[in-house]
Amino acid sequence: MLDLHTANPELYIDDRRPQDLIAAAEQLATWDEAATASADCLLNAWTLRACMNEDPEGTADLAVAIRAPRDRLANSRSLPDSYRHRWQGYLELLNARTLRFTNAAEIELLLNRPHVVELLRTLPANGEFFPQWEVKAALATQEKRFSDSRLSQLLGQIEDHGLIGHRKRGKYKDWRLTESGQQVLAKRFPAERARAPVRGFGMGDLRLYSTSPERLGQLVA
């Protein structure tokens, strides 16, 4: 088994797979400095390799291997924030590569699934993060109501296509459009101006509006 407390993690780069990292991480009671540094060494090397190779299946496996120890294992909460943010950067690189392996027809199929476009359009067009509870509230104003589990599942499917990314704050998640997601929406809705979410109207009355002075004047009138 892959040993995350080894003094030479680089020896595993060619001989182990991302699934081996997940198996090793599952055995940790908590993320200590040695284990975290070893995992980062492997993820860094594998991410660079994935960005240079035409291997969509390997890229998908690596993305799972990054998300699992960061968010999905029993010990994930002990992962230092510095590494959590660093590994998010690896995911962003992989997401940017994902669209190379996802052809236009597959993206179109995703966008034609129920609620996908509406969900994407609740996120700020400039790529800023938006809390998941506000995504849910924004959809509710469009008469589209989701359970937390269903919304998380749908967001995960879109993330797997590289159009959105997330960061975790405690037990909550914030979401944003990746550069790929911004490009897809800009191409699909070229005439739309960048929209930003307007807060302050209460969870039950959250809507997305243009932030122009004229529109804001209508809101407060």
User: What residue numbers bound the domain in which 46 lies?
Assistant: 9-101
Residue 208 clears pLDDT 50, i.e. is over it: no
Q: Which residues of 100-124 are buried (b: 16+ CB within 10 A; e: fewer)?
A: eebeeeebeebbeeeebeebbbbbb
* 170 CB-contact burial (10 Å; exposed 0-12 / middle 13-18 / buried 19+): exposed
Same domain flag for 39 and 131: no
Q: How much is the average pLDDT of 2-20?
A: 94
- Those residues whose C-beta lies under 8 Å from the C-beta of residue 50, and which sit 6 or more positions away, are 58, 59, 62, 94, 97
Query: Which of residues 101, 131, 149 is at a domain's end?
Result: 101
Strand partners, 176: 165
Question: Is 188 domain-assigned?
Answer: yes
- Of the listed ranges 15-19, 53-57, 66-70, 146-150, the least confidently predicted one is 53-57
Same domain flag for 47 and 90: yes
Per the structure, the count of domains in the chain is: 2
Q: What pLDDT, on a 0 to 100 scale, did the predictor assign at position 57?
A: 58
The pTM of this model reads 0.51
Mean of the per-residue pLDDT values for the chain? 81
88-105 confidence digits (pLDDT tens): 999 888 877 665 555 677
Which CATH number is 121's domain given? 1.10.10.10
Query: Which of residues 44, 75, 101 is at a domain's end?
Result: 101
